[in-house]
Amino acid sequence: MTNPDPARSIDPAPATDLAFSAAECSGVYRAIFERRDMRHFAGGSVAPEVMRRLLTAAHQAPSVGFMQPWRFLRVASGTLRTRLHALVEQERVLTARALGEREEAFMQLKVEGLREAAELWVVALADGREKHIFGRRTLPQMDLASAACAIQNLWLAARAEGLGVGWVSLFDPLAVAALLQMPPGAEPIALLCIGPVQAFYDQPMLQQERWAKRCPLDDLLFEDTWGQPLAHPALDAVSPSRAQLG
């Protein structure tokens, strides 16, 4: 069963010279609401021109100080895939042990995209980032935030192309950097499994597996001071229906 399309409940603003059309807006919101972190892939391949479009979308992401800290490394070697999978499995076991009473439930969550997905890409932060001062002097982590925006761009573009993406973060970054011969200062932040899938999950996988559930948006909105509830009723009036957002 397919959930109602949340994007259909959004009433776009009247068209202007700057706004997208209603159909274009619907496509943007649909990609956002139907994006999923995929753990199962259907084999097959990703056409080179499609992969190029996804990477171009990622490279169009905003970055603080226009630093563009992202680097993308394709893992084509089967041997490297196997070694990366071993590193992830090692970390998965350690993470499960750290979870205590939830260890067994966590071990049921498989990470097979590294083997099954058509494409495997490592997203990393570039070396030499300390030279980018604008926007990072007091918030040096903005390079990581910028790279996360690039990953999200790729993820949404992949959903629009009908492809699944799985973001694997269970690994020792130093071990992965050494395996891929990264220079000092470069740091891997994501293993992205990309490829065709049989179907997209109706809900986020961890929500579907009852591991966690999405926080109510209203609980996360403050005004003027931390913890002070938002006092702008119009913001609620234009939001998607609560039933569809879960």
Report DSSP letters for 148-180, one per residue. HHHHHHHHHHHHHTT-EEEEE--S-HHHHHHHT
pLDDT score recorded for residue 6: 47
If you average pLDDT over each of 7-11, 15-19, 62-66, 150-154, which comes out highest?
A: 150-154
Burial of 51 (0-12, 13-18, 19+ CB in 10 A): buried
CATH class belonging to 36-202: alpha beta
Q: Taking the mean position of all CA atoms in its chain, how far away is CA 166?
A: 8
Identify which of 120, 126, 116 has the alpha carbon closest to the alpha carbon of residue 188: 126
- Going by pLDDT thresholds of 50, 70 and 90, the confidence category of residue 106 is low
- Going by pLDDT thresholds of 50, 70 and 90, the confidence category of residue 181 is very high
pLDDT surpassing 60 at residue 201: yes
- Going by pLDDT thresholds of 50, 70 and 90, the confidence category of residue 12 is low
Higher pLDDT, 216 or 177: 177
CB 39 within 8 A of CB 113: yes
Is the four-CA dihedral 155, 39, 26, 29 of positive or negative sign? negative
Extract the tokens encoding 101.
Answer: 């009473």
If you average pLDDT over each of 34-43, 98-107, 117-126, 135-144, which comes out highest?
A: 117-126
pLDDT surpassing 90 at residue 210: no
Looking at the DSSP bridge assignments, the partners of residue 225 are: 223
Indicate the domain borders of the chain: 36-202
Cα–Cα distance for residue pair 160/108, rounded to 1 Å: 29
CB 218 within 8 A of CB 245: no
